[in-house]
Amino acid sequence: MTRPAPSKWALLALSFAVLVLLDQWTKYLAVERLTFAFERAEARAAGEKVRAFYGMRHLERIAREPYVVWKPVWRMNYVENPGAAWGLFRGMSEGLRNAFFTAISLGAVVFILLYYRKLEERQRYLQVALAFVISGAVGNFIDRVARRYVIDFIEWHWWNRPDIRWPTFNLADSLIVVGVALLVLHPGPKRAGAAAAAGNEKGAPGV
């Protein structure tokens, strides 16, 4: 006997748990390996490091030198982003900025869940895409609640030119971009329905 496929809500719960934990873990590694935060806090045990990870703020001043992954184009560099992608809304006051991002994050989560609720069990593609988006949004939202900024650490730059680079990002940003790209690339119910109708028309006998 084959096991029944997991329900769409089980898939969302599992994906969400794994992806959010992975996002937070990569940010933890960024703090551990790209800053001197744990040394300053004298955190040695795992519990002490987790408390320092969520309790310490503004670590750019004690950041290490960037770690080079592939010298021509890729390095890891600890950056704190109080704004949105590409540093948008940095000019807002902290209180207004945090209220704005809280409203946006909660609104996005509610919208995604309502949309997800309408999906059929067989629509795995859309379920995965929405799981990526909601996981990325919540991953960055956790950062804002804990620190009032988002930890970024992945830095891609032009060939041997670190001064010409893509804005530093993190795993949560990647999840959102990939999830949205999957949604954009999906043919959608109208096109799928039109294709099915065209197929039926071709298969219909001539009059």
**Beta partners for residue 70, in sequence order:** 74
Annotation marks residue 152 as catalytic: yes
For the chain, the structural domain boundaries read 8-187
Stated pTM of the model = 0.86
Q: How many CB atoms lie within 10 A of CB 79?
A: 21
pLDDT at residue 204 greater than cutoff 60:
no
Annotation marks residue 163 as catalytic: no
The phi and psi torsions of 187 (rounded to 5 degrees) equal -65, -25
**What digits encode the pLDDT tens for the residues 126-184?**
999 999 999 999 999 999 999 999 999 999 999 999 999 999 999 999 999 999 999 99
